[in-house]
Amino acid sequence: MKTFSAKANEVPRKWWIIDAKDQVLGQVAVKAANLLRGKEKVIYTTHVDTGDFVVVINAEKVRLTGKKEEQKSYMSFSGFVGGHKSENARARRARHPELLVERAVRGMIPHNKLGRAVYRKLKVYKGDL
């Protein structure tokens, strides 16, 4: 028996909607990352994009446990001297709540060419559909 290897153009793709309302951020991100990579499919192949499309709604209502609202910090760097900026999760949620979910999912998928292709299939919205 030959080993089966999935081909990207033959993979059936579905659309999944995840409602993040009152759910823990990490659990939403794990579910989205697994669906994006195709890890829940029988035909999963590590070097082929076998994942589905994922839409996350109600990103502003996602829950953070413990004191992460005040203590978790998000860093950015402009590339210039003194260009380091930091904000906590509460400020990030007030400005761009969808970035909380996007960054959590991005940290759970590979940081290479395949990971970028997988990440493009993620859509995050702060409100309901």
Residues 34-71: tens digit of each pLDDT: 999 999 999 999 999 999 999 999 999 999 999 999 99
In a domain, 108, yes or no: yes
CA-only gyration radius of the chain, Å: 17
pLDDT of 93: 95
Number of domains in the chain: 1
CA distances from 3 to 42, 43, 80 (A): 13, 11, 51
In a domain, 2, yes or no: no
Q: For residue 26, what are the domain limits?
A: 10-64+96-124
> Which of 85, 86, 74 is closest to 25 using CA atoms?
74
* Chain center to CA of 111: 12
In a domain, 74, yes or no: no
DSSP string, 35-97: HHHTTTSTT--TTS----EEEEE-GGG-B--TTHHHH-EEEEE-SSTT-EEEEEHHHHHHH-H
- pTM of the complete model beyond 0.85: yes
pLDDT of 1: 84
